[in-house]
Structure 1
Amino acid sequence: MTAAPSARAPRRPVHGVLLLDKPLGLSAQAAVARVKALLGAEKAGHTGTLDPLASGLLPVCLGAATKFAQVQLEADKAYDALLRLGARTTTGDAEGEVIATAPVDADRLTPARLADLACRFTGVIEQIPPMYSALKKDGKALYEYARAGVEVERAPRRVTIHALQLEPVPHDPAALRLRVRCSKGTYVRTLAEDLGAALGCGAHLIALRRTATGPFELAQAVTLEQLQHATMEERLQRLLPPEALLHGWPQVTLEEDEAGRFLAGLRRRGRWPDAEAVAVFGARPRALLGIGRCRGGELIPVRLLAPAEIAQWLTQTHAS
């Protein structure tokens, strides 16, 4: 006799940002699904994917916070990585097949040479996106072409390397540790390959860990195992408010009547300096209403929370 399928756990509105330390071997989407299930949340998304072979900081947006996920997609990121020198692969990382090898002269990897190399790759640089990436050409992801053995011409893209450190790995002369803080759209795999080319021996990525995104640091993150062993109350206490995604933005605060009109999508007038992006709050109770822009003394709504979402967030905050 076939057992009846177990009933799906009920979902409910949950709002906020959970900073997750994503483990190796799990896709970003699968990690989000696990968080969503553990919190019983109706809606969840992430703020920038991490490959299964990468670990580290993955901000998971829940409920109302998903409306502002794009902000973190645009944010600077920081990574720790390990490079294997002396070999290039089809994918630029350890998943691919080795396509070229070259000897590694470890004696030449002096601190001075590595510092000079890091300096050369700091600032605005150009990268050619890897074939094994999710960028699209004629509606298809580049990795689909790559898996079919088709090479597609890619235009170089400008990215910014804000800070770069290169260090030898003790007892492993064919490895380098890389620490980088970079703009959105930077491919660390491509950076590894370009560094290997500059050293004359080739290189590929063998480990990658995201340590920061925007204002968030890995030290703030929780693991899936920790979440699994926590009570629901403890899980909710881990959530940052949706406005955490708007860290550092100018703020506008509206009294009750003005807040209601703003939430209805109406422009408001006031003595606000021009700003392309502001976080808008209601005064009493203090709560995020949405985001807007200020132009010529007008506050223009851009992205609004629903009154129900605001009420649910306030209730959730009080309950936890």
Structure 2
Amino acid sequence: MKQARQPIDGVLLLNKPVGITSNAALQKAKWLLNARKAGHTGTLDPFADGLLPLCFGEATKFSAYLLDADKHYRAVLQLGTTTTTGDPEGEVLDTREAAVSRDDIAAVLPRFMGEIEQIPPMHSALKHQGRPLYEYARAGIEIERPPRKVTIRALELIECAPPRVVLDVQCSAGTYIRTLAQDIGAALGCGAHLTALTRTAAGGFSLNQAHTLAELETLDPARRAALLQPADCLVSHLPALHLDDASTTALCQGRSIAHPAPHAGLVRLYTAANRFFGLAQADAGQLAPHRLLATQQT
């Protein structure tokens, strides 16, 4: 008799390699873990590598909280060359001499600190009339894109040997590092594109916590599953409440309860046995269920 597949719930911190899409990495990890349901928390381009948190099972319910979190990148720029995509996968548009110094680069970086506006690249997954922009780009069609506000929280010059420049970038979700590289190149008057990009952190997770697909392939199923972080790691920034069995049951049945929660807004919910079972909205002495695990864990 075929043994029933055990549910897989949790978060895998994956170190995605260069050369594959985020979805291909997700599907490979899903297969290795024998998981039913899976999703990622923000894609990395095929030419990029680094931290790609993957959610499985019940953890997918909370993936949006990491999708919206700040990200941290190590970006390698090639000054003097622009491409159609802003990265090494595009065709070269223009080549100029990158006659700039470290002081020149350091002088323009402050322009890109704080809240800035970016025009999303045509080679992106943003939708226009139901189709991703990259489909229009491949067909040679240019779509007008309104600028979007993003926040660059830190921008540090790590290496400077023009035309090669390495930057450390901490930014809000939705920031296009390819566009940032192009805009910095334009400000320097020589143009630029990304040649390499590594995501080093996302939310509260860092790349040194991540595992490679090659590592997963060497492990047996139990050891692979043991690498998963619990679902509540995605919402650890929210305040926590521990509830008695009666309150837990009421919320899991979809009922609001009276509770003097010390914080207004979303809160993490735990049973009396310290088991996470979802999120509730706290307001005016009431707790209303917001997003709960499929099974009550009392």
| TM-score grouping bracket, smaller chain normalisation | over 0.9
Residue in structure 1 matching 2:127, options 120, 136, 140: 136
The Cα offsets for residues 205-230 of structure 1, whole Å up to 9 and x where unpaired, read as 11011000000000000011111111
Structure 1: which amino acid aligns with 2:281?
R
TM-score (norm 1): 0.89
Q: Does residue 290 of structure 1 match 2:275? A: no
Matches of 1:245 and 1:160, distance apart in 2: 22
Q: Does residue 210 of structure 1 match 2:199? A: yes
The Cα offsets for residues 144-163 of structure 1, whole Å up to 9 and x where unpaired, read as 11111111111000000000
Instruction: Return closer, same or farther for 1:299/1:164 CA change in 2, 3 Å cut-off.
Output: same
Q: Does residue 86 of structure 1 match 2:80? A: yes
* 3-state DSSP of counterpart to 2:142: coil
Residue in structure 2 matching 1:45, options 18, 34, 39: 39
Q: Which residue of 2 aligns with 1:302?
A: 290
Residue in structure 2 matching 1:13, options 7, 22, 26: 7
Per mean C-alpha deviation after superposition, the further-off stretch among 272-281 and 248-257 is 272-281
Residue 44 of structure 1 and its aligned partner are, at CA, apart by 1.2
Residue 11 of structure 1 and its aligned partner are, at CA, apart by 4.0
Structure 2: which amino acid aligns with 1:146?
A
Residue in structure 2 matching 1:155, options 146, 161, 165: 146
**Superposition pairs for residues 182-261 of structure 1, below 5 Å?**
182-261=171-250
Matches of 1:242 and 1:263, distance apart in 2: 17
* Contact kept? 1:10, 1:40, Cα under 8 Å: no
Per mean C-alpha deviation after superposition, the further-off stretch among 28-37 and 274-283 is 274-283
* Contact kept? 2:104, 2:188, Cα under 8 Å: no
Q: Which residue of 1 aligns with 2:101?
A: 109
Matches of 1:289 and 1:45, distance apart in 2: 20
The Cα offsets for residues 259-291 of structure 1, whole Å up to 9 and x where unpaired, read as 01111111111111342211111112x211111
Q: Which residue of 2 aligns with 1:56?
A: 50
Instruction: Return closer, same or farther for 1:41/1:68 CA change in 2, 3 Å cut-off.
Output: same
Per mean C-alpha deviation after superposition, the further-off stretch among 38-47 and 68-77 is 38-47
Matches of 1:223 and 1:293, distance apart in 2: 37
Unmatched runs of 5 consecutive residues or more in structure 2 = none
Q: Does residue 32 of structure 1 match 2:32? A: no
Matches of 2:15 and 2:5, distance apart in 1: 23
* 3-state DSSP of counterpart to 1:278: strand
Percent pairwise identity: 49
Q: What RMSD over aligned residues (CA atoms) do the two structures have, in Å?
A: 1.6
Residue 31 of structure 1 and its aligned partner are, at CA, apart by 0.8
Residue 9 of structure 1 and its aligned partner are, at CA, apart by 10
Residue in structure 2 matching 1:96, options 90, 97, 111: 90
Matches of 1:293 and 1:223, distance apart in 2: 37
TM-score (norm 2): 0.96
* Contact kept? 2:239, 2:263, Cα under 8 Å: no
The Cα offsets for residues 63-86 of structure 1, whole Å up to 9 and x where unpaired, read as 110100011110000011111111
The Cα offsets for residues 230-261 of structure 1, whole Å up to 9 and x where unpaired, read as 12222122111100001221111111111011
Residue 62 of structure 1 and its aligned partner are, at CA, apart by 0.9
Unmatched runs of 5 consecutive residues or more in structure 1 = 1-7, 312-320
